[in-house]
């Protein structure tokens, strides 16, 4: 299992909601960063991912753009 998982999300985006539900369902502990209420974190997400769409998941420094269930599952080994 990965050590550090960060989900960059906004409150209203459907893929963000499904991403958070998915991680919670699988019992994965993660830090949720709401980029709509934290402009500095929003910039950090844009810099790390090189794009401006949510959600973005960082798993031990590796970035996945969007709610790509298969890629996220693979990286988490679940």
Partner 1 sequence: MIYDLIVIGAGPAGITAGIYAARKKMNILVLSKDIGGQTAWSGDIENYTGYQFITGPELTKRLKDHIDAYKIKINEEEEILSLAKDREIILIKTDKAQYEAKAVIIASGKMPKELGIKGEEEFKGKGIAYCATCDGPLFANKQVAVIGGGNSALDAAIGLEKIASKIYIINIGEALTADAIMQEAVKKSDKITVLNKSRIVEVKGEKFVKAIEIERNNVKEEIAVEGVFVEIGLVPNSDFVEVVDKNSLNEIIINCACETSTPGIFAAGDVTNVPEKQIIVAAGEGAKAALSAFRYLINK
Q: Which residues bind partner 1 (CB under 8 A)?
A: 10, 12-18, 35-36, 39, 42, 45-46, 50-54, 65, 69-70
* CB 45, min distance to partner 1, A: 8
Give Cβ neighbours of residue 70 (< 8 Å, ≥ 6 apart): none
Nearer to partner 1, 53 or 60 (CB): 53
Q: Which is nearer to partner 1, 33 or 60 (CB)?
A: 33
Task: Give Dmax (Cα) for the chain.
Answer: 32
Separation between Cα atoms, residue 30 and residue 23, nearest integer Å? 8
- Which of 8, 1, 13 has the alpha carbon at shortest distance from 58? 8
DSSP SS3 for 32: strand
Least Å distance between CB 71 and partner 1?
Answer: 12
User: How far apart are CB 61 and partner 1 at their closest, in Å?
Assistant: 21
């Amino acid at each position: 299992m990965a050590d550090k998982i960060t989900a960059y999300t906004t409150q209203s985006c459907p893929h963000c909601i499904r991403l958070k539900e998915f991680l919670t369902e699988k019992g994965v502990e993660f830090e949720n960063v709401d980029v709509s209420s934290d402009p500095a974190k929003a910039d950090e997400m844009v810099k790390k991912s090189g794009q401006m769409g949510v959600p973005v998941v960082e798993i031990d420094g590796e970035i996945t753009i969007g709610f790509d269930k298969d890629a996220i599952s693979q990286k988490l080994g679940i």
